[in-house]
């Protein structure tokens, strides 16, 4: 039994605890986001000066308004937290007593987002700017564009996705040119640019704004398939269209309101169950693994080149240490298992692997081998790309149709696997590539390159007489012929005969 003194003490302690609990209630209330009402934001005295000026009409006011709606603003991460620069930064300039830079690089973002920065820097995305030697670049800078006219195709096309090497205009003495306000002048051929693999003046790679658009920096927006669709679309890599065709995409559109896209963290199976987006499978958190900004960590095949390889093959050939493809596939399957059974997932991967292997064996490898032999024999020019029809045909075969088929299978897009993919690859191979190879052989013989032409002819015949192509020479096996005939008759009976 307690004395009066003890009771008074308990009353004092409990009053304190109760008040503390009420303070927590007040904190929860203050932090609570109310639908239809803008959340409270934090503006420091320094940032207030920026905002006052940039709220004047015509002075990029929308970026301030967007920022006010951002999560950054709620945390008090404002203009100077991102744009502040060191005096000796190449792009630094004095702006109303503050030293700032226009370009905010991933290195700047890493002050707060260290993990994301490190993951991104080692990712395939970060390497996106290194495309200068690719065939695609020849097409943009030589075939479709011209370096004599400022390289506009590559600048406004390729590099807006892949990223540019940010350069500065220079004076004759090589110093950086500045405008009358003392602001470093960035080469307009290299900036504005928010390409995923931009090479920044501070050496860091990429641009966080490629996915997290300025100045909302919205995590929800970056999780939208449309965000990835800025670059991953079109005839050569239609991942966005394939996703929209897939069950995943259909579910996303139908149930977008249940996706909790702005949830932190965003764990599939826990925070949302309606559908996966690109971010879910390639980057998203599961109950077993954290989210990652290294987008290659769940990919097992390379679907980009003429012949697909397991994703670790190149590194292994070069003797580099890498994460094995099996581990990457395991990572991806962990995402799949949040919604599908083990048998379902394993069977899907069998279907996917089968398409990739078929494409490789039927079109990718033979066409690549034939093209190599044609070039090795000097039957077409080797120093100029795309000056011969067969080079275009081969390019379409693997770069467009071949990729579409493989990517279609990888993301459950049946129409892209067949009609936009393997069907068109077949059409291209049999009706254009093979006749053009024969023309090259004939031309070679006409122009005294009989030996080289015969080598190519021999290889072509080997290809066309192989099991995968023998139907084309009318050499289908009797069993296969009988099976086809039977299937055709049944089809006719069902749809034509009656």
Binding site for other proteins (CB under 8 A): 1-2, 4, 7-8, 10-11, 14-15, 17-18, 21-22, 24-25, 28-29, 32, 34-37
Q: Are 328 and 299 in contact (CB under 8 A)?
A: yes
Residue 382 CB neighbour total at 10 angstroms: 11
Nearer to other proteins, 2 or 174 (CB): 2
> Residue 429 burial (CB < 10 Å; 0-12/13-18/19+)?
buried
Give the nearest distance from C-beta 264 to other proteins in angstroms: 19
**How many Cα atoms sit within 13 Å of 303 on the Cβ side?**
27
CB atoms within 10 A of CB 469: 19
Closest residue by Cα to residue 309 from 427, 406, 197: 406
- Determine contact, residues 396/306, Cβ cutoff 8 Å: no
Judged by beta carbon, residue 37 or residue 343, the one nearer other proteins is 37
End-to-end CA distance of the chain: 99
Shortest Cβ 43–other proteins spacing (Å): 22
- Report the nearest approach of other proteins to the CB of residue 20 (Å): 9
Residues 6+ apart with CB under 8 A from 195: 128, 129, 159, 160, 161, 162, 163, 164, 206, 207, 210
- How many CB atoms lie under 10 A from the CB of residue 419? 13
Q: How far is it, in rounded angstroms, from Cα 138 to Cα 140? A: 6
Residue closer to other proteins (CB basis): 35 or 497: 35
User: What's the burial of 490, exposed, middle or buried (CB within 10 Å: 0-12/13-18/19+)?
Assistant: exposed
- Provide the minimum distance between the beta carbon of 30 and other proteins in the complex, in angstroms, as a whole number: 10
In the complex with other proteins, the residue whose CB is nearer, 34 or 174, is 34
C-beta closer to other proteins: residue 30 or 174:
30
Q: Give phi and psi for 165, each to the nearest 5.
A: -90, 110
CB of 274 to other proteins, least distance (A): 15
Burial of 405 (0-12, 13-18, 19+ CB in 10 A): buried
| Tokens found for residue 432 | 């254009």
Query: 10 Å Cβ neighbour count for 146?
Result: 12
Residue nearer to other proteins on the CB measure, 10 or 144: 10
Q: How far is the CB of 73 from other proteins (least distance, A)?
A: 21
Q: Which lies closer to other proteins via its Cβ, residue 17 or residue 419?
A: 17
Q: Quick one: tokens of 268? A: 């599939």
456: helix, strand or coil: helix
- Least separation in angstroms between residue 5's CB and other proteins is 10
- CB-count burial class (<10 Å; 0-12, 13-18, 19+) for 152: middle
**Which of 18/419 has CB closer to other proteins?**
18
Contacts 24+ apart (CB under 8 A), 436-439: 436/389, 436/390, 436/393, 437/370, 437/374, 437/390, 439/390
C-beta of 14: minimal distance to other proteins in Å?
A: 4
Q: How far is the CB of 15 from other proteins (least distance, A)?
A: 6
Comparison of 25 and 112: residue with beta carbon closer to other proteins: 25
Shorter beta-carbon distance to other proteins: residue 22 or 468: 22
Q: How does DSSP assign 12-46, residue by residue?
A: HHHHHHHHHHHHHHHHHHHHPPPTTSPPP----HH
Q: How far is the CB of 4 from other proteins (least distance, A)?
A: 6
Nearest residue (CB) to other proteins, 12 versus 442: 12
CB of 255 to other proteins, least distance (A): 15
């Amino acid at each position: 039994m307690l004395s009066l003194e003890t009771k008074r003490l308990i009353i004092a302690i409990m009053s304190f605890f109760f008040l503390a609990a009420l303070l927590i209630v007040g904190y929860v209330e203050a932090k609570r986001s109310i639908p239809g009402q803008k959340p409270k934001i934090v503006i420091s005295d320094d940032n207030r000066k920026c905002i006052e000026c940039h709220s004047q009409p015509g002075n990029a006011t929308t970026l301030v308004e967007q920022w006010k709606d951002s999560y950054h603003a709620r945390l008090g991460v404002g203009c100077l937290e991102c744009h502040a620069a060191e005096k000796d930064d190449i792009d630094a300039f004095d702006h109303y007593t503050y030293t700032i830079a226009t370009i905010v690089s991933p290195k700047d973002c890493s002050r707060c987002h260290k993990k994301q920065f490190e993951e991104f820097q080692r990712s395939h995305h970060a390497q996106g700017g290194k495309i200068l030697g690719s065939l695609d670049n020849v097409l943009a800078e030589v075939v479709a564009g011209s370096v004599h006219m400022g390289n506009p195709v590559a600048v406004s096309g390729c590099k807006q996705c892949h990223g540019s090497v940010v350069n500065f205009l220079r004076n004759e003495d090589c110093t950086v040119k500045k405008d009358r306000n003392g602001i470093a002048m960035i080469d307009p051929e290299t900036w504005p640019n928010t390409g995923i693999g931009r090479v920044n003046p501070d050496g860091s790679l990429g641009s966080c704004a490629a996915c997290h658009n300025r100045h909302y920096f919205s995590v929800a927006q970056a999780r939208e398939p449309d965000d990835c669709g800025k670059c991953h679309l079109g005839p050569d890599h239609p991942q966005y269209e394939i996703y929209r065709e897939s069950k995943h995409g259909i579910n996303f559109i139908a149930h977008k309101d249940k996706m909790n896209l702005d949830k932190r963290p965003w764990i599939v199976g826990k925070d949302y169950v309606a559908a996966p987006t690109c971010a879910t499978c390639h980057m998203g958190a599961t109950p077993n693994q954290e989210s990652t900004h290294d987008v290659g960590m769940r990919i097992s095949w390379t679907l980009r080149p003429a012949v697909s390889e397991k994703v670790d093959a190149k590194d292994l050939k070069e003797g580099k240490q890498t994460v094995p493809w099996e581990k990457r596939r395991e990572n991806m399957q962990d995402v799949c298992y949040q919604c599908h059974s083990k048998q379902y997932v394993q069977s899907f991967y069998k279907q996917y692997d089968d398409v990739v292997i078929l494409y490789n064996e039927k079109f990718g490898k033979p066409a690549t081998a034939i093209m190599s032999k044609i070039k090795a024999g000097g039957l077409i020019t080797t120093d100029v790309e795309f000056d011969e029809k067969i080079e275009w045909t081969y390019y379409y075969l693997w770069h467009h149709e071949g990729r579409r088929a493989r990517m279609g299978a990888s993301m459950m897009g049946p129409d892209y696997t067949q009609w936009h993919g393997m069907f068109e690859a077949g059409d291209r191979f049999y009706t254009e590539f093979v006749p053009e190879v024969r023309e090259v052989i004939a031309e070679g013989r006409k122009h005294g390159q009989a030996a080289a032409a015969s080598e190519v002819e021999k290889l072509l015949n080997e290809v066309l007489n192989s099991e995968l192509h023998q139907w084309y020479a009318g050499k289908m096996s009797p069993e296969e012929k009988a099976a086809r005939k039977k299937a055709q008759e049944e089809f006719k009976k069902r749809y034509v005969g009656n």
